[in-house]
Structure 1
């Protein structure tokens, strides 16, 4: 009887200890880690193992707890030896289990960078320089060296990066984003050119890109893009000069102070479409998908001129004759004058 009693006591003790250990393990696995503040993250570098990760947590003021339990949990979650590099979000609710699963599955923090339609290369570079935590590789290289780094030696950089939102992760660089944006533009341009209308006065897809960049800078009104494309393509077909202000402004570079003068329109540069026939030598901005489509699918019609309405809508008046265009220009000038007068007097413009 004494032996049976002793065995029973031993079994009960073992069960109690195992139960306590099981409870402790599961409380550890699913309890929030102490010391995490909202907005924190953990960066796992190449070669970091579980113990290095725990050291990093501790260095950030986060109490990781028992390392043996971490090892057991890593085996239980199949995370042992499978921790992926990257940045991982930490919240006050993050538990050892959720963190190990995130690191096993590579659920890294994905940040976003947007290239805006109509940006120039100068705008794009300036925006990339301002992105926190993004490694800077292109700041000290010119556009020619940048394109060579992308495997496109001799190709102009302007217009070659598709306006879109791109995801990036900690440890990536501005060059990584530009590589994705270049590849995206290459695909979109190939698709647009393959789907172009017949008999366009464009020699190749580069000319389509150049025209699309001009369309992008001329209007932000979606339904006007094909109309503006039609005007420019008719002019190209007839041998008329494009006479578009955005190309002149681009050619002026830093000399442009916000206002075009007659002398600027008469000063010859490779981008002055008032003094030179045909398209400028390179794009003048980053065109979006809609502008690319418009360049190869112009709206039908006979308009050869357009001018802004001037009412703040961003829309234009299209004319088939110079006389009609001159009338539209006079209306625009009168509307602008009325708005300036109203601003001075405080009255509503008529």
Structure 2
């Protein structure tokens, strides 16, 4: 029993010392205590009590070596210093977290700014300040509308964006916002409003554009001129039937064949007569360049050239021209002066189809039916290009009388010196047409 009581006291002493040590209180030497008497000692007799009183006291826990103070990263510090270090570390962590949060916020704000700025620029792009840089020519093709023109201007870097140009068109003070086909002088990187001022038809010094393709018949050419210029087509037709106004000989019936293919620009106030005069003069120039100065002789050349334009490809022009001259010889034994060309027949029928009936082939009422009438047709059958005029004036010297294009898509043409050979080539053409019925209508 005594031993158990002693151990209990030691445990209590240890607990007290540990609590004081944890609280940071200074540790002194323990004061010896007089052992308490147990019940056995009180009633066990005087000898037991005396022996217990004279026992040597056991060393207290205070005699143990003092425990070292806790260490920190900076060395040994007292317990109160450790708390301060923990506080500093906690504060440093808070500062780092706040700094990181601020940096992330700054990055997000900056990114949002640039995104919004780019988005705003996309819908409200900056215009070029002007006046512009390198001079360029910008061609507006027939059929181009404002949207396509604006995209082309942006692609060429004439304007900063198509949207700016469209906005400038809407803000234009012109009474009639129309952009005519033609070629206009512009500059790279010019303000959209300046480009609009050049292109939009709001001043009398603007131009209109006319584009005529080779092989166009007279009426089709006049329609194109009216479309590009705004001139009255009926007035143009009346002028076209007065060839003497354009310095042409009496043998010329109208302006068929005289309206030279090409691209033309005219001031908006140009009259119909002046427009037609320039086109006729272009044909006169082409004839002169080919070596023809007499307009009567030139008229014959235009008839041949128009047939070349309709019947052959450029690489065969001179060969076909030679065959035509052979046929026109009234003493030839193959055609006896008959030209026998389909292109002239369908012109007289006022059609474009290559097909016509046997009755139509025998119809003498068609003045352009060269299966019936000898010589050249009354007029050209279209507007020939310069290359066709050159070939008509300078035909190849050959022995061919017949030719047939056996493939109208590739333009392959075969020639023959007699009718038997020509029939073989014709059969080849018929076979091709049978396989390509949608083409040979």
Q: TM-score range, shorter-chain basis?
A: 0.5 to 0.7
RMSD of Structure 2 on Structure 1 (CA): 4.2
CA distance in 2, matches of 1:328, 1:139: 46
What is aligned with 1:260? 356
Alpha-carbon distance change, 232 to 180 in structure 1, aligned in 2, over 3 angstroms: same
Structure 1 residue 228 and structure 2 residue 320: aligned?
yes
Question: 2:257–2:381: 8 Å Cα contact kept in structure 1?
Answer: yes
- 3-state SS in 1 of match to 2:349: helix
Structure 1: runs of 5 or more not aligned: 1-27, 43-56, 62-86, 101-105, 197-202, 342-350
What is aligned with 1:309? 406
Structure 2: runs of 5 or more not aligned: 1-128, 133-163, 178-183
User: How far is 1:318 from its partner?
Assistant: 0.8
- 3-state SS in 2 of match to 1:129: helix
1:250 to 342, 347, 363: 347
CA distance in 2, matches of 1:144, 1:340: 37
Q: Give the count of matched residue pairs.
A: 260
Alpha-carbon distance change, 194 to 60 in structure 1, aligned in 2, over 3 angstroms: closer
Structure 1 residue 189 and structure 2 residue 287: aligned?
yes
Question: 1:159–1:283: 8 Å Cα contact kept in structure 2?
Answer: yes
Structure 1 residue 135 and structure 2 residue 231: aligned?
yes
Question: 1:136–1:173: 8 Å Cα contact kept in structure 2?
Answer: no
What is aligned with 1:218? 311
What do the CA deviations read for 1:92-117 (whole angstroms, capped 9, x no partner)?
Answer: 4456xxx89xxxxx995444311111
Structure 1 residue 329 and structure 2 residue 419: aligned?
no
Question: 1:306–1:316: 8 Å Cα contact kept in structure 2?
Answer: yes
Q: Provide the TM-score with structure 1 as the length reference.
A: 0.62
What is aligned with 1:162? 260
What is aligned with 1:119? 216
User: How far is 1:337 from its partner?
Assistant: 2.3
Alpha-carbon distance change, 325 to 141 in structure 1, aligned in 2, over 3 angstroms: closer
User: How far is 1:324 from its partner?
Assistant: 0.9
CA distance in 2, matches of 1:230, 1:211: 10
138-147 vs 243-252, greater mean Cα deviation:
138-147
Alpha-carbon distance change, 164 to 339 in structure 1, aligned in 2, over 3 angstroms: closer
CA distance in 1, matches of 2:324, 2:422: 15
CA distance in 2, matches of 1:332, 1:124: 31
User: How far is 1:204 from its partner?
Assistant: 2.2
CA distance in 2, matches of 1:153, 1:181: 17
Question: 2:204–2:269: 8 Å Cα contact kept in structure 1?
Answer: no
User: How far is 1:270 from its partner?
Assistant: 2.0
5 Å matches for 1:288-307? Answer: 288-307=385-404
What is aligned with 1:281? 378
What do the CA deviations read for 1:66-85 (whole angstroms, capped 9, x no partner)?
Answer: xxxxxxxxxxxxxxxxxxxx
CA distance in 1, matches of 2:416, 2:306: 22
User: How far is 1:174 from its partner?
Assistant: 4.0
Q: Provide the TM-score with structure 2 as the length reference.
A: 0.50
Alpha-carbon distance change, 113 to 224 in structure 1, aligned in 2, over 3 angstroms: same
- 3-state SS in 2 of match to 1:179: helix
User: How far is 1:234 from its partner?
Assistant: 1.1
The structure whose Rg is larger is 2
5 Å matches for 1:55-94? Answer: 92-94=191-193
